[in-house]
């Protein structure tokens, strides 16, 4: 047993039961975060071939999407090496063969790739500038034409969206608001 292990949680989705090991000091050690759940349950992208889970934590979003889209290649990144370790354990534990995980601050480790779908449960405490740059503007550059960026934020961060939208071609669509969280989608036009 890993020295950082705290507990296992079960997450039912799409007729499957995903099992995730959680580490003591990672985000959402009580169980699956509500924002993560609302994001997973609302993503409707059709057949993405390449997916990035930005700030993957212990891996629930990337792992569920890898299962939902078995033809896709999923890359999961996190700045926390313990999160990377637990994502890898959870990829193996859920028998996922189309996902990999890398240590990366933001997009640094994947700057040689583009994606059809980028997803993130945006961390609320990193500040407006870091959220805007690292979780919206920079990932948007790495979307393929017609690619989509799906994010969930705590409602306290909704004030950022109008400021981001003043930039050309950025129109974030509110998808779902539930219990203190809002899911947004941003599509990269084909032009």
Q: Which helix (H) or strand (E) holds 83?
A: helix 81-93
Sign (positive/negative) of CA torsion 41, 43, 45, 48? negative
Q: Give pLDDT, residue 102.
A: 98
Instruction: Work out the average pLDDT over 95-109.
Output: 96
Strands 73-78 and 5-13: unpaired
Rg, the chain, Cα only: 16
Q: Residue 146: left if φ>0, alpha if ψ -120 to 50, beta else—which one?
A: left
Which of 77, 168, 152, 40 is closest to 160 using CA atoms?
152
- Give the range among 20-34, 44-58, 98-112, 130-144 with minimum mean pLDDT: 20-34
Rounded Cα distance, 122 and 142, in Å: 17
Residue 178 has a pLDDT of 86
- Residue 41's DSSP bridge partners are none
Which domains does the chain carry? 33-187 (3.40.50.150)
Residue with tokens 């990144």: 77
Q: What is the pLDDT of residues 124-148, one digit of tens each?
A: 778 788 888 899 999 999 999 999 9
d(CA 185, CA 76): 19
**Is the Cα torsion angle 87, 88, 93, 94 positive or negative in sign?**
positive
> Which of these, 69, 60, 132, lies nearest to 101 by C-alpha position?
60
Model's pTM, two decimal places? Answer: 0.92
Task: Between 8 and 7, name the one with better pLDDT.
Answer: 8
Q: Give the pLDDT band of residue 165 (cuts 50, 70, 90).
A: low
Q: Which one is predicted more confidently, 106 or 165?
A: 106
Alpha carbons 159 and 5: distance in angstroms, whole number: 36
pLDDT beyond 70 at 188 = yes
């Amino acid at each position: 047993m890993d020295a950082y292990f705290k507990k296992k949680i079960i997450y039912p989705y799409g007729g499957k039961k995903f099992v995730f090991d959680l580490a003591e000091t990672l985000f959402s050690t009580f169980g699956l975060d509500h924002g993560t759940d609302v994001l997973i349950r609302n993503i409707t992208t059709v057949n993405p071939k390449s997916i990035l889970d930005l700030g993957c934590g212990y891996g629930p979003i990337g792992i569920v999407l890898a299962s939902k889209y078995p033809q896709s290649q999923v890359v999961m990144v996190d700045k926390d090496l313990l999160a990377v370790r637990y994502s890898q354990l959870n990829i193996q534990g859920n028998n996922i063969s189309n996902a990999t995980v890398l240590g990366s601050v933001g997009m640094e480790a994947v700057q040689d790739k583009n994606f059809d779908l980028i997803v993130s449960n945006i961390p609320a405490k990193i500040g407006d500038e870091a959220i805007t740059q690292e979780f919206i503007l920079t990932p948007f550059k790495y979307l393929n034409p017609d690619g989509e960026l799906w994010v969930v934020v705590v409602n306290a961060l909704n004030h950022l969206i109008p400021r981001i939208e003043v930039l050309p071609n950025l129109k974030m669509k509110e998808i779902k608001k539930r219990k203190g969280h809002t899911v947004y989608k941003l599509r990269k036009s084909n032009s």
